[in-house]
Every structure is written in C-alpha cells, then in structure tokens.
Amino acid sequence: MMLVLTISLVLFTCAIFVALYRIIVGPSMPDRVVALDMIGVNLISLVAVFSIVLHTHAYLEVILIVGILAFISTVGIARFIERGEIVEHEHDD
C-alpha cells in the first residue's frame, strides 16, 4: 500500500514538472493556461494522496480552496485571451 502511494506521489510530481515545462516553453498563451490548470489538478491530487499517507483530514479544506481558485483563475485568463477584457461593464446581448 505504501509503495503504491509513494509511486503515485512521484508520478504526480513528475506531471507537475511536465506542466511547468509547458508553461515556460509553451508556444501560445492557451497552452500556458491549460498547463496552469493541470498544475492545479495535480496539486489537488497530491494533497489528497498526502492526507492518505499521513492519516489525517486536516488538509481536505486545502483541496476545496485550491480547486475553487484554480477554476476561477482559469476562467478569468480564458476570458482575457478571448475578449481582451476580464470583467465587462455591460453585457451586449
């Protein structure tokens, strides 16, 4: 059981480094946004596996907060790329 958890921790860390490579090199802006979202998802999984390893539920609120912030930041950056402004003053429909 411990071996499986250790292997999954190492693989999640590797996935974060792969996404980091995409953020630094990434040819276009949408690549970087998707890589940032991927880092958020992998961070959530990492915290979940850590709370299994340490037999605690003290970190479960971190999962919710990181999930909310990753979602909102991805939506915000996606809007900025597509429209050029993040918050509209008045909807045009």
Cα–Cα distance between 53 and 16 in angstroms, integer?
Answer: 19
Residues 12, 70, 39, CA angle at the centre, nearest 5°?
Answer: 25
| Three-state secondary structure call for residue 43 | helix
Q: Which span (13-21, 24-32, 42-50, 63-71) binds another protein, by CB under 8 A? A: 63-71
**Size of the residue set binding another protein (CB under 8 A):** 21
The 73-92 contact track toward another protein, x by CB under 8 A, reads --xx--x---x-xxxxxxxx
Q: Does 31 bind another protein (CB under 8 A)?
A: no
Question: Measured from the CB of residue 59, what is the shortest distance to another protein in angstroms?
Answer: 9
Contact 66, 44 (CB under 8 A): yes
| Interface with another protein (CB under 8 A), residue from 1, 2, 24, 58 | 58
